[in-house]
Amino acid sequence: MAIYTILPPLRRFNVIFAFQLKGMRKSDDMTSDSTYPPLQKSLIIGIVLCLLVTGYSLLRYPAILIPLRTGILFTSVFFLVLVCYVLIIWRVFYHRTAESAWLARSSLGWGLLISLFWFIEIVAGNLGNPGKIAVQLTYFGASGVAFLLPLLAGIWGAKHSGSMRTGALVGLYSGLMSGLLTFLILMVVTYLFLNTFLQDPENILQSQMSGTTNLTAFVVGDSLAGGIGHLMIGLVLGIGLGAIGGVIYKITTYWKRNEKI
């Protein structure tokens, strides 16, 4: 009799426990989906670092902004590009879904890979001997791969979901990541090897042609301009080549289906 009186409460307890466990799993899933993937945090940190490096460079070498018309154009383009980055990142934060989490993880990996080849291109182009064939091959080879990778990222994204939109977004997000990283890499290399940059005959010649008397400001400003160029490359080519990659994947899958028919 005692056994039968105990069993019903145990059954009720098991049902309640299973229900609570199911709810905990759902809440864990919601928590994991609602947490910000590393991509967003990395992009925000990258933007902050870019602003700090640029601010330090302008304060340390104010001659970068001379002539004033060029300086205004420089700062305007820089902040306009960063505003575009911030708006895109805000969109990623605002739309937090399982797909956006996958996009963030994949784009982070592709962005790091693209940045690696831009790093090789920067080192070969600024620290290597341009007269050597090996340096030239390394420079152009790394540049070519860096331009090709957003296209492959777009194909990868479209293959994952079957949607061209996903391919374009993977290309865009990885482009943002690589743009910020390449900007920072270029400025770090510039400051670490500033003496090498100052002794480069090409930099000296270009500085003289520009009419500036401050070679250091010219070199740092030139690197900042190159970094802004990479920010624009990451933004424009990222989404452009990513979308093209998505289109290529859709076309190839369409051909394969027709061949089977």
Mean of pLDDT over the chain: 83
Predicted pLDDT of residue 155: 95
How far apart CA 126 and CA 196 sit, in angstroms, is 9
User: What digits encode the pLDDT tens for the residues 199-228?
Assistant: 999 999 998 888 888 999 999 999 999 999
Total domains in the chain come to 2
For residues 112 and 222, state if they share a domain.
yes
Place of tokens 């743009």: 179
Of 37, 51, 103, 58, nearest in space to 82 by CA:
51
For residues 221 and 195, state if they share a domain.
yes
pTM to 2 decimal places: 0.82
The domain in which residue 163 lies consists of: 37-260
Confidence check: pLDDT of 88 > 60: yes
For residues 148 and 237, state if they share a domain.
yes
Q: Are 181 and 111 in contact (CB under 8 A)?
A: yes
How far apart CA 208 and CA 197 sit, in angstroms, is 15
For residues 120 and 19, state if they share a domain.
no
DSSP-based three-state secondary structure for 167: helix
For residues 10 and 48, state if they share a domain.
no
Of 230, 238, 187, nearest in space to 78 by CA:
230
Residue 260 token pair: 């089977």
User: What digits encode the pLDDT tens for the residues 95-148?
Assistant: 666 677 788 888 999 999 999 999 999 999 999 988 899 999 999 999 999 999
For residues 29 and 42, state if they share a domain.
no
Of 78, 93, 77, nearest in space to 47 by CA:
78
Question: Burial level of 173, CB count in 10 A (0-12/13-18/19+)?
Answer: buried
Confidence check: pLDDT of 20 > 50: no
For residues 42 and 15, state if they share a domain.
no
CA angle 166, 141, 221 (to 5 degrees): 85
Greater pLDDT, 57 or 16:
57
